[in-house]
Amino acid sequence: MNRPIQLRYVVGAIAILVALVIAVAPGPDLSKAPVGDPDGGNLLYMPEPGEDASTESENLLAMGDFFYHRVSYPTGQFDGRWYLDAQQEDEQVERAVPAGVVTYNREANQSPLSLDPNSFTSLGPKPLQSNGCINCYSYGLVSGRTNVMRVDPVDTNVAYLGSDGGGVWKTTNCCSAATTWEPVTDDPLLSTIAIGDITIDPTNHNVVYAGTGDLRFGSYSFGAAGVLKSSDQGATWEVLGADVFNGFYQQPAGEFPQYQAIGKIQVDPNNGNNVAVGTKTGMFFSYDAGENWDGPCLTNSFTTQRQDITGLLARDDGATSRLYAFVGARGTNTPVQANLNENGANGAYSTTWPTSGCPVSWDLLSR
């Protein structure tokens, strides 16, 4: 009679011991970036008879880590109730199908908003014939990439074009097939003529800003060398912030050099002295029309992630102005840009345009 009772005690003691081990075992580190599972091995894993116990536990823990990282990165926070709340909201979405017979022709663009390629007019500049060959290969007609075009809101015959490696071009007879352009920043004193963005001061259309550098994620992109400013509709230019917006970018140790670049510029609709610049490392602000700069200013708390500003909008709210910044690191590396996967800060943010320094806070609009 005593033997079965003792066996039950032993089994119970073992169960308690296992529970204690599980309780004190370290959980997944949610502060780390999610680890990819390209072959889906963790998601498909099932214990096999005779499998080594340690291997089985490691695989199960890896599967748990993958799940937690996926739903909690980059904040490291997750609450299962969020799923329940989302399910309740999803159930409130009305399900229905359009009345009548639905037909769809993939080859016919039936949207009233569709663009007709025959309605576009080529404005130039036209490609040029390349001379000779590079590595014994003739490239024929070539042209630089156009990053931005801005039309003067007062004199719509005037427009500016910014290209990667070609500087700022201007036209005074926009916008028809007869449009002609001339480069206005071919100055040997300029360290770079790679243009990432152009903006026209909404309070004075004669003032034009052009950000240097090429904030693109390809293998070949040029670095920044300041902000170009013209106060006479592009006739003459000065360089501002060359010591702030230079080519230096802190790349990972041992990797191919990267370069700082200005991707976006906006001027306060209520104050032409306030200028905001978006770069690879966050936001910069000037309150004296570009003479001095504060920054970098981050829109978020994810300081270990890339802060590439890929979109920037300014809105006139009357007495104040609202600024919208969009962080958009690509998410996958290239052979010469090894940290493009650090995209945990990606999202849309907004703030009231500050009167000095960096904004006190930003509102997260979307992730």
pLDDT per position as a tens digit, 192-238: 889 999 999 999 999 999 999 988 876 667 889 999 999 999 999 99
The pLDDT value recorded for residue 170 is: 98
**More confident: 59 or 16:** 59
Distance CA 337, CA 339 (A): 6
Architecture field, domain 145-366: 7 Propeller (2.130)
**More confident: 350 or 339:** 350
**Spatial CA neighbour of 326 closest among 301, 300, 343, 349:** 349
- How many Cβ atoms are within 10 Å of 32's Cβ, its own excluded? 12
Distance CA 232, CA 236 (A): 7
Cis amide prior to 28 (ω within 30 degrees): no
**More confident: 255 or 112:** 255
The pLDDT value recorded for residue 269 is: 98
Give the distance from CA 314 to its chain's centroid.
Answer: 17
Distance CA 356, CA 294 (A): 8
User: Which of the four pLDDT bands, split at 50, 70 and 90, describes residue 103?
Assistant: low
- What are φ and ψ of residue 56, in 5° steps? -60, -45
The tens digit of pLDDT for each residue in 249-287 reads 877 777 777 889 999 999 999 999 999 999 999 999 999
Tell whether the model's pLDDT for residue 305 goes beyond 90: yes
pTM score, whole prediction: 0.70
The answer to whether 238 and 227 are in contact (CB under 8 A) is no
Range(s) of the chain covered by CATH 2.130.10.10? 145-366
